């Protein structure tokens, strides 16, 4: 299932979601070896940041809730990792975040010089007090940050969106107009909260956290469907994708590539190969290819 995405050759349409197993070249390489066409580094921020105390990630059975809190060594403190990644033989997305347009630009400009294959800006993380969310829920501020970042980088730009936007299609359109090369959707849903009734307090130390995994898949499918209608740039669709059939559904909503995160919990690190194989089997059975079904759910659809 080799394909090209924004000019880069990928061995299949599977993408490792940001924030999952993205901490070092070694582990990114292992994910790639386990059937993932495109891997995303853990989000890189403007300053060193520890993230929140535990509990930060809890499995609720139907998916995860997390408030890890954007831990990052800070963009200036990752020279070992960049050195390791220089000798990679697989494509990567460098995910970045900031608290202001200035911070996004500063981090993006620096990271671009490290030559990742793509830069993804996270304008949608719900797990910190100020980082990102304000941009992702407003078309104008989304436009501003994308336009600013686009000017200072020379690799394709992916924008990661939040399902919390009132109209995610409008946000995606604003990003496209500002020069975004692709959209990645969705980030975790929520925030939500889980209270332990014996302890009488929220389980997560940050109290609120983003939801992921199977429970959010219908929201992710709807968001990608809306984005596909609004823009012409390609979409990385993710949110609860766990099986080949989930991935097919996401592609029919309009995704070009399919991301996986929480499913690593449910099916192991080789879930990428497994889902890719399941997709191939489905295509074989239905005598069609990925391109044949992309956006298929929109055909003959008036609304």
Partner 1 sequence: MNTITDQNHIMLRVGKKQIESQNFATLFFNHALPFKPGQFIMVWIPGMDEKPYTISYHSKENFAITIEAKGLFSTKAISLETGDLIGIRGPFGNGFNIKPDDKVAVVAGGCGMAPLATLMEQLSKSTTFIHGARSKEYILYPERFDIERLFCTDDGSFGYKGFVTDLLEKEITSGKHFDSVYTCGPEIMMYTVFCICEKYDIPCQVSLERYMRCGFGVCGACVCGKQVVCKDGPVFESSTLRAMKDFNAKALLKSGKDVDLSQYFSWRCK
Give the DSSP per-residue string, 256-288: SEEEESTHHHHH-TTHHHHHHHHHHHHHHHTT-
Selected from 5, 15, 42, 215, the binder of partner 1 by CB under 8 A is 42
Q: Is 125 a catalytic residue?
A: yes
User: Which member of 36, 125, 175, 184 is catalytic?
Assistant: 125
Residue 14 burial (C-beta neighbours within 10 Å; 0-12, 13-18, 19+)? buried
Taking the CA atoms of the chain, what radius of gyration do you get in angstroms?
18
User: Applying CB under 8 A, does 30 fall inside the site for partner 1?
Assistant: yes
SS3 274: helix
Q: CB-based contacts of 61: which residues, under 8 Å, 6+ apart?
A: none
Classify 193 as helix, strand or coil. strand
Candidates 2, 7, 140, 198; binder of partner 1 (CB under 8 A) is 198
Residue (of 168, 88, 76, 84) closest to 123 by Cα position: 168
Q: How many residues bind partner 1 (CB under 8 A)?
A: 48
Q: Which residue has the tokens 């990102």?
A: 132
Among 1, 193, 269, 293, binds partner 1 (CB under 8 A): 269
Return the residues of window 234-263 that contact partner 1 according to CB under 8 A.
Answer: 261-262
**Closer CB to partner 1, 21 or 146, in the complex:** 21
Backbone angles phi, psi at 219, to 5 degrees: -70, -40
Q: How far is the CB of 187 from partner 1 (least distance, A)?
A: 16
Q: What does the longest C-alpha to C-alpha distance in the chain come to?
A: 55
Is residue 129 a contact residue for partner 1 (CB under 8 A)? no
Interface positions, 61-80, toward partner 1 (CB under 8 A): 61, 64, 66, 68, 71-74, 77-78, 80
Neighbours of 39 (CB within 10 A): 27
By CB under 8 A, residue 126 contacts partner 1? no
Q: Which residues are catalytic?
A: 125
Q: Which residues in this chain contact partner 1 in the complex, by CB under 8 A?
A: 19-24, 26-27, 29-30, 42, 48-51, 53-61, 64, 66, 68, 71-74, 77-78, 80-81, 194, 196, 198-199, 201, 203, 205, 261-262, 264-265, 268-269
């Amino acid at each position: 299932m080799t394909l090209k995405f924004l000019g880069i050759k990928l061995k299949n349409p599977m993408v490792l979601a940001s924030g999952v197993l993205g901490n070092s070249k070694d582990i990114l390489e292992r994910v790639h070896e386990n059937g993932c066409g495109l891997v995303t580094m853990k989000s890189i921020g403007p300053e060193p940041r520890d993230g929140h105390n535990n509990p930060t990630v809890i499995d609720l059975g139907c998916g995860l809730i997390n408030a890890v809190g954007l831990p990052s060594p800070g963009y200036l403190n990752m020279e070992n990792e960049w050195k390791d990644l220089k000798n990679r033989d697989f494509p990567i997305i460098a995910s970045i975040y900031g608290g202001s347009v200035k911070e996004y630009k500063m981090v993006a400009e620096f990271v671009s010089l490290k030559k990742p294959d793509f830069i993804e800006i996270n304008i949608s993380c719900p797990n910190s007090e100020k980082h990102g969310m304000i941009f992702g829920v407003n078309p104008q501020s989304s436009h501003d940050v994308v336009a600013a970042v686009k000017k200072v980088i020379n690799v394709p730009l992916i924008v990661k969106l939040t399902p919390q936007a009132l109209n995610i299609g409008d946000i995606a359109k604003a990003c496209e107009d500002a020069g975004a090369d692709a959209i990645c959707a969705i980030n975790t849903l929520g925030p939500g909260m889980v209270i332990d009734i014996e302890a009488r307090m929220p389980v997560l130390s940050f109290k609120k956290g983003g939801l992921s995994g199977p429970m959010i898949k219908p929201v992710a499918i709807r968001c990608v469907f809306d984005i596909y209608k609004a823009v012409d740039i390609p979409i990385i669709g993710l949110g609860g994708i766990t099986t080949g059939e989930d991935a097919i559904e996401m592609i029919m909503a309009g995704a070009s590539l399919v991301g996986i995160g929480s499913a690593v919990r449910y099916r192991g690190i080789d879930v990428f190969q497994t889902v890719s194989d399941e997709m191939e089997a489905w295509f074989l059975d239905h005598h069609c290819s990925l391109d044949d079904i992309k956006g298929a759910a929109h055909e003959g659809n008036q609304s």
